[in-house]
Amino acid sequence: MLSQSVYIQKLFFFLFASALLTTGCTKKAANATAKPVESPKTSVGASSPKAITGSDAEAITILKGYIDAMGGKEKMMSVKSMMTKSVANSPMGDITITQYVKNGKSAMKVEAGGTTVSEQIFDGTNIYVSAMGQKQTLTDPSMVKAAKKQAAIFSEIDQLINDKEIKKFGGLVELDGKKVNKITTIDEDKKETVQYFDPVSNLQVRTVSTVDALGQKVTQTMDFSDYKEVNGIKFPHSIKMSGGSVPFPMELKITALMINSDLPDALFKMN
């Protein structure tokens, strides 16, 4: 059984990797979670992906449908700040994660038993990490680049308009007994992210990715459900995470979510 200190270290590493979730999943991980359906048709086009040098029209159609299902590009772009608070159960008790995003900056605080066990702040230039009584400033270019992406409130819009990323339609596949649309995005660093979308609601149901964090590669799966509307925009209020260094699957339940609230600049400064 893990000691509490080791457990918290592993948990923080997992949450830190989650916060920098910008890189893609391996084909092995993708194939392990979704089984292709042998069907000549899908809701948006042919099920057999073609060899492409650019993005598929089908993939763009799915991403546009996802943005529309969430509330539309115009409403999403009107959001300038966001705060979310979520709770996860663990063998050590409830864990509360509070995240803030504003003007390309982000902050995350993890609490267990009412005590802050870790903090991560990105001030737009550097990443500051405080955990287990120690503070560290991270300036690695790849991690800063990932943090900048994570600080975008709606990365879906950037994904859609970024012509340096290749979006491939992977067909209609079977996921947990249901048929979903699959998209693989290859970014400018040749890293892949695989996403799955419900063809009826057009909402995202799963993402499988690997991240480079603290010198280790972490592959994880995130499942999204319980979408609820907040100020005209749909947000998943249940996020299940598995894989990576965390010693058990974790479900985050969103308990509070505010957009365009007046977040003080002090939140994005490490004391």
For residue 107, list its beta bridge partners. Answer: 100, 121
User: What burial class does residue 186 get, using C-beta atoms within 10 Å of its C-beta: 0-12 exposed, 13-18 middle, 19+ buried?
Assistant: middle
Measured torsion, CA atoms of residues 133, 3, 247, 15, in degrees rounded to the nearest 10: -10
- Give kind and range of the element (H or E) at residue 144: helix 141-150
pLDDT given for residue 36 in this prediction: 47
| pLDDT tens figures, 231-247 | 999 999 999 988 765 66
| pLDDT tens figures, 112-157 | 888 888 899 999 999 999 887 788 998 888 888 888 888 888 888 8
* CA-to-CA separations, 46 to 50, 131, 200, 244, in angstroms, rounded: 9, 49, 17, 33
Task: Give the C-alpha separation, 218 to 211, whole Å.
Answer: 5
| pLDDT tens figures, 4-33 | 333 344 444 445 444 433 222 333 333 334
Reduce the DSSP state of residue 260 to 3 states and report it: coil
What is the pTM (predicted TM-score) of this model?
0.77
Query: Rounded mean pLDDT of 79-85?
Result: 95
User: Percent of the chain having pLDDT more than 70?
Assistant: 76
